[in-house]
Structure 1
Amino acid sequence: MKTLYLLRHAKSSWSFDELSDQERPLNDRGRTDAPRMGQALCKREIELDLLVSSPAVRALSTAVLVAREIGYPHEKIVVERNIYEASVEDILSIIHQLPDSAQSVMLVGHNPTFTDVVNTLGSAGTTPLLEMPTAAVACLRFECERWEEVSRENAEFYFYDFPKDGK
C-alpha cells in the first residue's frame, strides 16, 4: 500500500511588491497554520518516508514547519522544481516516478492543481473538493506496490483536514 499526502502551502504574504511569485514568504497566519497542521498530522501518528516540496518560498517554508512538528528531518526535504506551476498531469507524473522504497510520501505545493489532483485520484463516490484552503492536507491511500500504478481505480480517500480558527 502507498500513502500520499497532498499539502497545500500555508497562507502567503502579498506585502512585498518587489518579490516574484516564487519568492513570496508566509504571512503571520501561514507561520501559525503550518505548525498547527503539522501538530494535527503528528496526532494522527503519520510517519513519512519522503517529503517533496515545490521550490516556492511559501511551499518550502510550509514543508519545513510541518516537518519540524512531525519529526521529519528538514535536511531530507526534496525540492522538486516541477511542482511549481504544475498541471495535474505534471503532478501525476511526479507521483508515478516516486521511489517505490517510499511507502508514505507528502507533496507540498499549490492550488488549484492540488485540489484537482485530489479530485482526479480520489476514489469513486468521494465528494469532490471545491478548493483546498491554504495549509489543507488530503490523504489518499493506494492498493498497489509501485507508485507508477497509482490511479483512481486503486485509490481510497483516507482523510482531509485544514486549519480551523481557534483550533
Structure 2
Amino acid sequence: MKKTLYLVRHAQAEDRAPMFKDFDRELTGRGVMDAARMGRHLAQQEMIVNRIVTSSAVRSYQTVKVMAEQLHFDVDAIECWDNLYDGGPQAYLKAVNTTPEDCQLLMLCGHNPDISYFAEYLTRSDVGSMEKGSVAIFEFEDLNWAEVSGKTGTFVRYESPKQFRDKI
C-alpha cells in the first residue's frame, strides 16, 4: 500500500530581534496568507491528511494550523515535537518511523536546513533549499512507515506559495 509524506517548511516569519527568542517568532501577514493559499490548494486536490506533526516553534505550528483549517483537519490533533526544532534530519526520520500504520498521508512541518536535508535524504533527488511555506511531496510503495529511510521514497513534486499568490 502506498504512503504519502508532505514535508512543509514553515511560512514567512518575523525577522529575528534581540528581545525575542528565535523559537517564539510568529508568522507575518504574508506568511499566514501563504499558508492559507497552500492549504487551500492542497484541499482542492481532495487530499485527506491522517496525521500532522510539527516543530513546536510558534511559526511552524501557526503554519500547519492555518493549513489544517483549510484541509478540515482537527487542529487539536496536531502533534508538536520539540526535537523538530534544530534536531537534525534524524528527528524528521523518527517522526516518520513512529507513524502508525493506519496513517496513509503524513504531513511534517519544520525548518531549514534540516527539512531540506531530510527531503533529499529520502530520495537523493535534488530538492534544493525549500522556500518558506513550500511543500515537497514523497511517496513510498509497499513500505511500512518504520521502514522508511534513505533512498526509499519517490519524489512526486514540489510546490511553493509563489505559484499561487496571484491565483487564489
TM-score (norm 2): 0.91
Partner residue of 2:148 out of 147, 150, 166: 150
Q: Quick check: 2:11–2:133 contact (8 Å CA) kept in 1? A: yes
Per the alignment, in what secondary structure is the counterpart of residue 117 of structure 1? Answer: helix
Per-residue deviation, 1:32:
0.9
Per-residue deviation, 1:17:
3.5
**Higher mean C-alpha displacement, 140-149 vs 71-80:** 140-149
Where in structure 2 are the equivalents of 1:93-112 lying within 5 Å?
93-112=94-113
1:79 maps to amino acid:
C
Per-residue deviation, 1:95:
1.2
Per the alignment, in what secondary structure is the counterpart of residue 94 of structure 1? Answer: helix
2:141 maps to amino acid:
E
Where in structure 2 are the equivalents of 1:68-147 lying within 5 Å?
68-122=69-123, 126=125, 128-147=126-145
Q: Which position in structure 1 is the counterpart of 2:166? A: 166
Per-residue deviation, 1:166:
2.3
Per the alignment, in what secondary structure is the counterpart of residue 58 of structure 1? Answer: helix
Q: Which position in structure 2 is the counterpart of 1:7? A: 8
> Could you tell me how far apart the structure 2 residues matched to 1:130 and 1:50 are?
25
Q: Quick check: 1:2–1:142 contact (8 Å CA) kept in 2? A: yes
2:3 maps to amino acid:
K
Per-residue deviation, 1:16:
4.8
> Could you tell me how far apart the structure 2 residues matched to 1:43 and 1:152 are?
30
Unaligned runs of 5+ in 1: none
Where in structure 2 are the equivalents of 1:14-29 lying within 5 Å?
14=15, 16-29=17-30
Unaligned runs of 5+ in 2: none
**Higher mean C-alpha displacement, 31-40 vs 152-161:** 152-161
1:10 maps to amino acid:
A
Per-residue deviation, 1:18:
1.8
> Could you tell me how far apart the structure 1 residues matched to 2:166 and 2:81 are?
33
How many corresponding residue pairs? 164
TM-score (norm 1): 0.92
Task: State yes or no: 1:44 paired with 2:55.
Answer: no
